[in-house]
Amino acid sequence: MAVRLGNQTMALERNVSVINTATVVGTKESEGPLSPYFDVKMKDAEWGEETWEKTESKMQKEAAKLAMQKAGKQPSDIHCAFAGDLLNQCISSGFSARELGTPFYGLYGACSTMIEGLSLGALAIDGGGMNTAIAVASSHFCTAERQYRNPLEYGGQRPPTAQWTVTGAAAAVLEADKNAPYITHVTSGKVVDFGVIDQNNMGGAMAPAAIDTLCAHFADTGRSPQDYDLILSGDLGKIGREIVINMMNSNGFNMNDNYGDSGCMIYDIEKQDVHAGGSGCGCIAVTVCGYIFEMMKSGKLNDVLILGTGALLSPTSSLQGESVPGIAHAVALSNRPGGER
Amino acid sequence: MAVRLGNQTMALERNVSVINTATVVGTKESEGPLSPYFDVKMKDAEWGEETWEKTESKMQKEAAKLAMQKAGKQPSDIHCAFAGDLLNQCISSGFSARELGTPFYGLYGACSTMIEGLSLGALAIDGGGMNTAIAVASSHFCTAERQYRNPLEYGGQRPPTAQWTVTGAAAAVLEADKNAPYITHVTSGKVVDFGVIDQNNMGGAMAPAAIDTLCAHFADTGRSPQDYDLILSGDLGKIGREIVINMMNSNGFNMNDNYGDSGCMIYDIEKQDVHAGGSGCGCIAVTVCGYIFEMMKSGKLNDVLILGTGALLSPTSSLQGESVPGIAHAVALSNRPGGER
């Protein structure tokens, strides 16, 4: 039985192992600093498909298949897939799950979806109902642009606060009682909205949710930022990241030295001309399943707090005058069972 | 610890009680046969809001608040909301969760979302990480029409296979170790696609997924349809319902006498001119949280298998030539702990 800590956190009882992961990325991500950690690097935005939406679905499917293969699993070994994406009606996930053939719970947590999937998969395994699960998420620059903003052909200008949607899909296979790293804690986020109405400032819109969940996690567990080798947020970009550092400092938490944001890590922000950084479900998904997983396997990182961040808007809600609500879900990963020191 | 049965089913160990429910419906649903079982009946499609999308979000929020009130709970008592809807980026749920202030995992299971929420909420409670949860789902005829089909102002013709999206929201509060009814079993569905490409025949598209999950549930548990007082599917309508009865018969399961479909029950199909029946996330949500909950509380039904059915398409996937994948998730409700006889 998981143990409930404080208002939002659960400490898992079983050792829920991340037994293996896989990543598929686009060309821009392949040219970025995390390139060595990715498995499949697409040569173009289409990957042999007729539409970008079909490409994104294929990316999810191939990431999931490769993760299962690396984990020595068949789809029939997987008790459930927890998957989501940004597209209307989450079609990348639905059509990918159709091909995989595992039981499937569809999720929508905007860019926090991968961490929502790890959370719910870990809880289901900890609870005994499942022995294995796979968490999958994706985003694609071209599908996101035409759905959320403008057709690519417009060549629209982007303000400095804008972020670049990561073309990437990742999958992580979870299983009870295998090797490290383990998911040891899950903190469920609340929706937080500070009234940001600028759809081109997602980092600013999501930062308050990130801060809310970080504070809840530290209060619930009695931990401090210094208990982690790294705290990694999803896609706050350089604007959101700065807000988090400053506001956490105001709340008495020093995150100057061990806090990174996937959106700031996945691209060389200056050279690759991505303005405020990366974003999208794929951003934290490929960073965690590529870079973080490898750092933990090699023991260079032993305790990492992963914070998926999402903006729960739609083009319709913005047109109707709504602000941009944010959410952040956290999981703690540790190379020690239960995260014990 | 939940016990895994067969390939897709989990038998819960704790008594996960549905402690109370609430429903909000539109005018057409208020005029239908299940009207006496609904809590809040809107006088029009707007309910004082400027847009139908805002109305739908308000419906979710009010259903959740009323369910908590009837259950004697404050939002701060609820460990997590599991909620979803049909709108792009699930804005009905996201904006409702913003107002409620509970931790929130967003779901997308198309019209199966309520049952996905009950499933994941029950698993989280059974696993000990949560003591309380709320499952919430909604749909609105006007938001669904303009998003999936045509602006209402077109007055488009509907073929006889078309279904009518239910304007309804419902919420169910779950808690460990309280009164009946209990969620005793959860069966996770797979995506099943028989190649139906007619977006106006959702019942036909979803029926194979319903049959797949029903067969899995019976195989996993060793039960037969006769172990239930009622088997209730979500929104197959009269076409999908007939396919299920026939195909289940071919598979050796007699469902002639105790099988109902929410889409066939919520409207007077002939008099209310809804063609093949009701549909939408709200369809099974209000039927279960209104009619079924009351029938179980009064002991008129004691064992019910609830099967949420969803079509995982989007307008984009259809325009790109894709068929309509279906999914079905099941939960068994019983007035006896563990569903023991």
Three-class SS state of B328: strand
Chain B interface disruption, residue of A14, A58, A105, most B CBs within 10 A? A105
Average pLDDT, chain B: 97
Give the mean pLDDT of B256-277. Answer: 96
Predicted confidence at residue A340, as pLDDT, reads 75
Predicted confidence at residue A339, as pLDDT, reads 80
CB A202, CB A240: distance < 8 Å:
yes
> Minimal Cα–Cα distance from B176 to chain A, Å?
13
Size of interface A-B (CB pairs under 8 A): 215
Q: For residue range A65-103, what is the model confidence (pLDDT) as tens digits?
A: 999 999 999 999 999 999 999 999 999 999 999 999 999
Predicted confidence at residue A330, as pLDDT, reads 98
Determine, for residues B104 and A186 on separate chains, whether the beta-carbon distance falls below 8 Å.
no
Q: For residue range B202-247, what is the model confidence (pLDDT) as tens digits?
A: 999 999 999 999 999 999 999 999 999 999 999 999 999 999 999 9
Q: For residue range A166-192, what is the model confidence (pLDDT) as tens digits?
A: 999 999 999 999 999 999 999 999 999
Q: What percentage of chain B reaches a pLDDT higher than 90?
A: 95
Q: How far apart are CA A191 and CA A205, in angstroms?
A: 11
CATH of A182-335 among 3.30.499.10, 3.40.50.620, 3.40.47.40, 3.40.50.720: 3.40.47.40
Determine, for residues A84 and B108 on separate chains, whether the beta-carbon distance falls below 8 Å.
yes
Q: Which of A2, A51, A317 sits opposite B53 (nearest CB)?
A: A317
Determine, for residues B8 and A188 on separate chains, whether the beta-carbon distance falls below 8 Å.
no
CATH topology of domain A3-176: Peroxisomal Thiolase; Chain A, domain 1 (3.40.47)
- Residue A11 Rama label (left phi>0; alpha psi -120 to 50; beta): beta
Chain A residues touching B102 at Cβ < 8 A: 190
Closest B-chain CA to A76: B7
**Interface membership of B5 toward A (CB under 8 Å):** no
Is residue B9 pLDDT above 90, yes or no? yes
Chain B residues touching A212 at Cβ < 8 A: none
In 3D space, the residue among A8, A9, A309 whose CA is nearest the CA of residue A183 turns out to be A9
* CATH architecture assigned to B182-334: 3-Layer(aba) Sandwich (3.40)
Determine, for residues A89 and B108 on separate chains, whether the beta-carbon distance falls below 8 Å.
yes
In 3D space, the residue among A177, A78, A49 whose CA is nearest the CA of residue A136 turns out to be A78
Chain B residues touching A120 at Cβ < 8 A: 105, 120, 124
Q: Exposed, middle or buried, B273 (CB in 10 Å: 0-12/13-18/19+)?
A: exposed
Q: Where in chain A is the domain with CATH 3.40.47.40?
A: 3-176, 182-335
Q: For residue range B11-46, what is the model confidence (pLDDT) as tens digits?
A: 999 999 999 999 999 999 999 999 999 999 999 999
Residues in chain B: 341
In 3D space, the residue among B331, B106, B225, B39 whose CA is nearest the CA of residue A110 turns out to be B106
**Interface membership of B50 toward A (CB under 8 Å):** yes
CATH topology of domain B12-176: Peroxisomal Thiolase; Chain A, domain 1 (3.40.47)
Q: Where in chain B is the domain with CATH 3.40.47.40?
A: 12-176, 182-334
Chain A residues touching B13 at Cβ < 8 A: 128
Classify the complex by whether its ipTM is higher than 0.85, answering yes or no: yes
Chain B residues touching A102 at Cβ < 8 A: 190
Determine, for residues B91 and A130 on separate chains, whether the beta-carbon distance falls below 8 Å.
no
Determine, for residues B128 and A86 on separate chains, whether the beta-carbon distance falls below 8 Å.
no
Q: Within 13 Å, how many C-alpha atoms sit on residue B95's CB side?
A: 26
Chain B residues touching A314 at Cβ < 8 A: 87-89, 91
Q: What percentage of chain A reaches a pLDDT higher than 90?
A: 95
Predicted confidence at residue B145, as pLDDT, reads 95
Predicted confidence at residue A50, as pLDDT, reads 97
Determine, for residues A313 and B13 on separate chains, whether the beta-carbon distance falls below 8 Å.
no
Q: How far apart are CA B208 and CA A228, in angstroms?
A: 48
Determine, for residues A190 and B101 on separate chains, whether the beta-carbon distance falls below 8 Å.
yes
Predicted confidence at residue A338, as pLDDT, reads 82
Q: Which of B3, B101, B325 sits opposite A94 (nearest CB)?
A: B325
Q: For residue range B116-169, what is the model confidence (pLDDT) as tens digits?
A: 999 999 999 999 999 999 999 999 999 999 999 988 999 888 899 999 999 999
Q: How is B151-203 classified by DSSP, letter by letter?
A: -GGG-----TT--EE--EEEEEEEEET-SSPEEEEEEPPBPB------TT-HH
CB A81, CB B175: distance < 8 Å:
no
**Interface membership of A4 toward B (CB under 8 Å):** yes
> Minimal Cα–Cα distance from B270 to chain A, Å?
31
Q: For residue range A132-142, what is the model confidence (pLDDT) as tens digits?
A: 999 999 999 99
Is residue A317 pLDDT above 70, yes or no? yes
**Interface membership of A108 toward B (CB under 8 Å):** yes
> Euclidean distance between the first and final Cα of chain A, in Å?
21
User: What residues 183-202 of chain A have any CB closer than 8 A to a CB of chain B?
Assistant: 186, 188-193
Give the mean pLDDT of A296-316. Answer: 98
Q: How far apart are CA B231 and CA B258, in angstroms?
A: 6
Determine, for residues B129 and A123 on separate chains, whether the beta-carbon distance falls below 8 Å.
yes
Predicted confidence at residue B341, as pLDDT, reads 63
Closest B-chain CA to A84: B108
Q: Which of B54, B90, B190 sits opposite A104 (nearest CB)?
A: B190
Predicted confidence at residue A341, as pLDDT, reads 62
Determine, for residues B53 and A94 on separate chains, whether the beta-carbon distance falls below 8 Å.
no
**Interface membership of B177 toward A (CB under 8 Å):** no
